[in-house]
Structures are given as structure tokens and as C-alpha cells.
Structure 1
Amino acid sequence: MKIAIIDDDPIFQILLNKLIQKIPSDNVVQQYTNGRIAAEFIEEFSESVNVLPELIFLDINMPEMNGWQFLEALRTLSIKDYNPVIYLSSSSLDDKDYIRAKSFTELKGFLNKPISFPELSHILESFQ
């Protein structure tokens, strides 16, 4: 499975990547430091959905393009037959973020950082 980690925190990216690698499978992890870079990749390969991430872990607060802006950009692209499973990940405890997340039908869930191994295992097992 192709997994994208879109987060500006290099430590979070390393930790999440290591957790993903602990789960035996043929996962390929793509890492992006902000939503703009990820959105540009998705747009560039919009005609080849088989190379696009199937599962996305998306941070809210990032420079250049935050998680909310990324979701809006993804909606604008409206790529045929591309419906990735997206989990918003944040250390934010702000109720406004939870409420706003509910307005995006593209989101599968809201994960509080740090993401635990059992939580990640459950998410990845749901794809098998």
C-alpha cells in the first residue's frame, strides 16, 4: 500500500515511518513536509492514480499549505477514481479542529499525536 505522511515535523515523520515498517507488509511510504508539495505531487500524477497514496496521514499546522488547505486543494483537483483514506493528525486539542474536521467527508478520522502502535496497526489492518 502507498502511504503518505504529510507533516512538517521530521521527528514525527521518522517515528511514524518506523512504526509503519514494524508492520509486515509491502507498504511504500511517501513523505512531504507540507501540503503544497503533496498536492503538487498528486496533481502531477493525477492521470496515474496507481502511484498516488492510498492512505494519508495529514498534519493540520504546516507552513506554506496547512492540512485544511491541502484538503481544499484535493477537492479542487477532483481526480476521477481517486479517493484516498485520510486521517488528520494533530497535537491540537482545540475543539474547533474537531468540529472543522467533521465538515470534510474525505476524512476517515482524527488522530491525536503521537499515534500509538496499536492505533496504527488497526488502521493498516483495515486495508487488508
Structure 2
Amino acid sequence: MTIGRLMVIDDERSDQMMHERIIRKTGLAAEVVTFTYAPDALGYLRGPEGAAVDAIFLDINMPRMTGIEFLEALRAEFGDRARPVIMILTTSMNPRDRRWAEGFPQVRGFVSKPLSAADLDAMARHVAGAG
């Protein structure tokens, strides 16, 4: 059970490097694409490569566009049919953010930073429809 193309959206470059290291170590994703800013990730999803994104780990607290704003933009552009499975990746477990994000059918859970092998396994199960 693997993830084809996994996207990570996180404004902290050091966190991105740590996430990528763990993802590659587990071998649970065939390809990883990372973005520092959510608007850039949204632009990628609009392109031909974006159709192949299976899963997204999304930080909530980011400059330019928050994770919540990203989810709103994703819904506005693609509707609730947007394909990627999304897990929120954050250091903040604000109950209001959690309740709001759970209103999006693509959001399958919340993960506390740093990302772990167990988090990737859970994401792979969600992508496979077993999670």
C-alpha cells in the first residue's frame, strides 16, 4: 500500500526537510512534491501534474494563505470532488480549526509535527480506501 504522488505544504523549510527524509525512509510514497506557500501548491494542482496528486499533508498556520484558506480555495475551484486525501499537519491543535477543517470531505485527520512513519502509514491506508 503506497501513495503515488504526495504533496507537502509547509512554510517551514526545516520541517519540509524532516518530512521528506521520513517519507523517503518509509518508501510509502513514489513521489514527493513540496511547497512553502499554499498559493503555489494550488497553482500546481491546477496544472496537468496536479491531477496525479493522491495525498496532501497541509500545514494550517502559514503566511500568504493559511491551510484553512487553501481548503476553501480548493473547494471553490474543484468542489467537494477534489481527489487528494488531506491530513492537516500542525503544531497547533486549535479546536476551532479542527472543527472547521473536518467540514471538508478530503480531510481525514490531524497530525502533530513532526511527521512520523505511523502518520504516513495512516495516510497510505486512507489513500487506499482502508483508513
TM-score range, shorter chain: 0.7 to 0.9
Q: CA deviation at 1:126?
A: 5.0
Q: Structure 1 residues 124 and 34, CA, compared in 2 at 3 Å: closer, same or farther?
A: same
**Alpha-carbon distance in 1 for matches of 2:95, 2:121:** 26
Structure 2 alignment gaps of length 5 or more? none
Residue identity over aligned pairs, in percent, reads 30
Contact 1:49/1:82 (<8 A) preserved: no
Partner residue, 2:104? 104
* Number of residue pairs aligned between Structure 1 and Structure 2: 125
Alignment of 1:46-125 (within 5 A): 49-50=51-52, 53-78=53-78, 82-125=82-125
Contact 2:90/2:111 (<8 A) preserved: yes
Q: Structure 1 residues 60 and 8, CA, compared in 2 at 3 Å: closer, same or farther?
A: same
- Normalising by structure 2, report the TM-score: 0.83
Partner residue, 1:41? 44
**Alpha-carbon distance in 2 for matches of 1:17, 1:110:** 18
Q: CA deviation at 1:95?
A: 1.6
Corresponding letter in the other structure for 1:87:
M
Point out 4+ residue stretches in structure 1 off by more than 6 angstroms: none
RMSD: 2.3
Q: Structure 1 residues 108 and 122, CA, compared in 2 at 3 Å: closer, same or farther?
A: closer
**Alpha-carbon distance in 1 for matches of 2:79, 2:124:** 24
**Alpha-carbon distance in 1 for matches of 2:47, 2:76:** 14
Q: Structure 1 residues 98 and 30, CA, compared in 2 at 3 Å: closer, same or farther?
A: same
Contact 2:37/2:64 (<8 A) preserved: yes
**Alpha-carbon distance in 1 for matches of 2:88, 2:38:** 12
- Give the number of the structure whose residues are more often helix, by fraction: 2
